Structure 1
Amino acid sequence: MPSPTQRVLSRVPLRFRPFLVRYRRPVKFLLVGGTCFLLTMGLNYGLRQTVFAGKPVVALTVATVVATVVSYVLNRQWSFRAYGRQREAALYLLVSGLAVLVNDAPLVVSRYLLELREPHVTASVEETADFVSGMIVGTFLAMLFRYWAMKRWVFTRRADLLPADRPRSGAGR
């Protein structure tokens, strides 16, 4: 029975399949990231309208932390199948903590250094600046940092790469 990935890949036009297979790890990482971006955006908006009204940095931080947990599970199980879960989890938390800071930095700059907040600007300019700096620029920078750091330090050994002297199950069929 084909895996879910194989079923999806069978629906992709033939000319795109080699690209997706060759760059499967970054493609999977981007799909997980896109899902978590939508989750972060929804949580951020909901928190800013309710619990953390007037505290956009706190709302973005909480939303990012929740999405980071989801991202870990999805990346661990799908994008980066690796060994060493205890060490890996600690490194993931460290990298993700740094990534939250990277994600928040453009919003902090926008709000508190550039003063793109009320009463210095209109409410619509404030909302636009918050969205662009926190959700777009911050998420993009954090995504680049996370991918580089996860590949470099966290998910360094892959379960699907076995030593050459150890045959894969089903080899020779």
Structure 2
Amino acid sequence: MSVVESALAIIPQPYRDIAIKHRELVKFAFVGGTTWVIDTVVFLLLKSTVLAEKPLTAKVIAVLVATIVSYVLNREWSFRTRGGRERHHEAALFFLVSGVGVAVYSAPLAISRYVFHLSVPEVSLLTQEIADFVSGQIIGVLIGMAFRWWAFRRFVFPDEDVRRRVPAG
């Protein structure tokens, strides 16, 4: 039994049927959660060390690292049966959509810092850090994931069941 099947088995009804019906979305959300952790760790590490004065740069780098991991996981797992494009074209579109996603992800942090001025010395360091986390890691990620879900299915992996794997047997 696969990891997905094992996970689905522990979900109570009627939620299991919903999860099965929306399996692709569940996988996409799991990949998103995994890459969110990567994004968060890289962002906080960079922001607290070498890019302390450049939180937006730290955020962009963190998103780029997470995006590379996201491509591999989404192509090989979340959207493994979807495709319709040559791999180089698919990869180019994935990274183009993800590039737009970087702007979408980063916009709430930029607004927090540079429109609302939620940064030292206008606010306390604690307020700045909470605002950065909420705007960059929660609001930005949610908006960015919604955009990427739509764009990946529409432009990157547009056709269903073109890469369906047949078990060897």
TM-score by length of 1: 0.87
Q: Residues 121, 9 of structure 1: CA spacing in aligned structure 2 closer, same or farther, 3 A cutoff?
A: same
Matches within 5 A, 1:23-172: 23-81=22-80, 82-83=82-83, 84=85, 85-159=87-161
Q: Which AA in structure 1 matches 2:4?
A: T
Give 1:20 deviation, angstroms: 1.2
Gaps of 5+ in 1: 163-167
Q: Which one has more relative contact order, counting CA pairs under 8 Å at least 6 apart?
A: 2
Q: Aligned residue pairs: how many?
A: 164
- Following the alignment from structure 1 to structure 2, what is the Cα–Cα distance between the partners of residues 59 and 117? 15
- Following the alignment from structure 1 to structure 2, what is the Cα–Cα distance between the partners of residues 112 and 60? 15
Give 1:160 deviation, angstroms: 5.9
Root-mean-square deviation (CA, aligned residues, Å) is 1.9
Give 1:11 deviation, angstroms: 3.4
Q: Which residue in the other structure is 1:7 paired with? A: 6
Gaps of 5+ in 2: none
- Show CA shifts across 1:26-73 (max 9, x none): 111111101111111111111111121111001111011100111111
Give the percent of matched residue pairs that are identical in Structure 1 and Structure 2: 44
Q: Which AA in structure 2 matches 1:155?
A: F
Which of the pair has more CA radius of gyration? Answer: 1
Q: Which residue in the other structure is 1:165 paired with? A: none
TM-score by length of 2: 0.89
